[in-house]
């Protein structure tokens, strides 16, 4: 989960398949793996104060809770790094309401080297490109305590409930962004302010400006907050450690500007 490279696309298993409109792409310093390779990772032995969660057990528990909540997984991507000690992935989620231009995504991460606890993050992926954005992370626990496996179902259910609320708020946010027109002056001001809030580094400003002034995709030619948001996400593709923080900061900036 370090420096980014384009990684990995993994389609859904046959029983979860549906016509695809976008590929799930992980931007990260990690290796593409199949689900079977995630299951094959050996889980370290527990200690008196720490119990690691098997990567595949975490994935399967998340899938189980999603199914109970009528949330269907229609695509998955998996990656491992640090000799399998760190896992992260993406799941494309369908909830009955299908958008024409973006989908819900669920980011997952887990570690066997105590680098971070298991966590989930709600996000969106735009169909016409592989832009990802996130709107809030939920950690499963502060650390993998001795009772983590006993408590994992309850923690996962609670986390999915919180993330579902964020997905619905995300839908409202995207609609508001699409409806809010921006002038070039406003866009330029927001790009500078994005640096102040940590959504963008100064070195990325020219790239964001270029994408705003001449979008790669005609869908973003309307001068709206949605187009500006995608000018950022087209430029700021990063790892699942960095991208959530950046896009959450960007949401905060644009939410205030559009009146959310």
- Residue 167 in 3-state DSSP? helix
Q: Which domain holds residue 12?
A: 5-175
Residues 49 and 136 in one domain: yes
pLDDT digits (tens, 9 = 90+) for 126-175: 887 778 888 877 877 655 677 788 888 888 999 999 998 889 999 999 99
Sorting pLDDT into bands at 50, 70 and 90, what band is 50? confident
What is the total count of domains within the chain? 2
The residues, any chain, with a CB within 8 Å of residue 197's CB and separated by 6 or more, are 249, 250, 252, 253
Domain boundary residue, one of 125, 147, 175: 175
**Rounded distance between C-alpha atoms, residue 231 and residue 234, angstroms:** 5
Q: Where are the alpha helices (DSSP H) in the chain?
A: 35-40, 55-68, 148-179, 184-196, 205-213, 225-235, 243-258
Are 96 and 209 contained in the same domain? no
Query: pTM to 2 decimals?
Result: 0.80
**55 and 99 assigned to the same domain:** yes
pLDDT at residue 100, rounded to an integer: 80
Note whether 171 and 210 are same-domain residues: no
């Amino acid at each position: 989960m370090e420096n980014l490279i384009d990684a990995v696309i993994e389609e859904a298993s046959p029983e979860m398949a549906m016509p695809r409109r976008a590929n799930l792409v992980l931007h990260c310093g990690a290796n593409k793996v199949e689900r079977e390779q995630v299951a094959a990772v050996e889980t370290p032995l527990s200690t008196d104060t720490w119990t690691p969660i098997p990567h595949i057990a975490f994935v399967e528990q998340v899938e189980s809770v999603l199914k109970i909540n009528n949330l269907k997984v229609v695509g998955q991507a998996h990656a491992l790094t640090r000799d399998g000690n760190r896992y992260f992935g993406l799941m494309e989620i369908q909830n009955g309401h299908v958008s024409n231009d973006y989908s819900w995504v669920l980011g997952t991460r887990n570690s066997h080297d105590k680098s971070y606890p298991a966590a989930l993050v709600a996000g969106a992926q735009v169909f016409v490109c592989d832009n990802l954005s996130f709107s809030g992370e939920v950690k499963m626990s502060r650390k993998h305590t001795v009772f983590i496996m006993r408590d994992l179902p309850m923690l996962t259910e609670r986390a999915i409930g919180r993330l579902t609320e964020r997905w619905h708020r995300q839908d409202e946010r995207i609609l508001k962004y699409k409806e809010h027109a921006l002038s070039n002056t406003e866009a330029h001001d927001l790009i500078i302010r994005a640096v102040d809030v940590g959504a963008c580094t100064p070195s990325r400003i020219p790239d964001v400006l270029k994408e705003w002034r001449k979008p790669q995709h005609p869908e973003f030619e309307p001068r709206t907050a949605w187009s500006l948001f995608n000018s950022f996400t087209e430029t700021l593709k990063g790892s699942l450690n960095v991208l959530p923080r950046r896009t959450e900061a960007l949401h905060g900036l644009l939410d205030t500007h559009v009146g959310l």
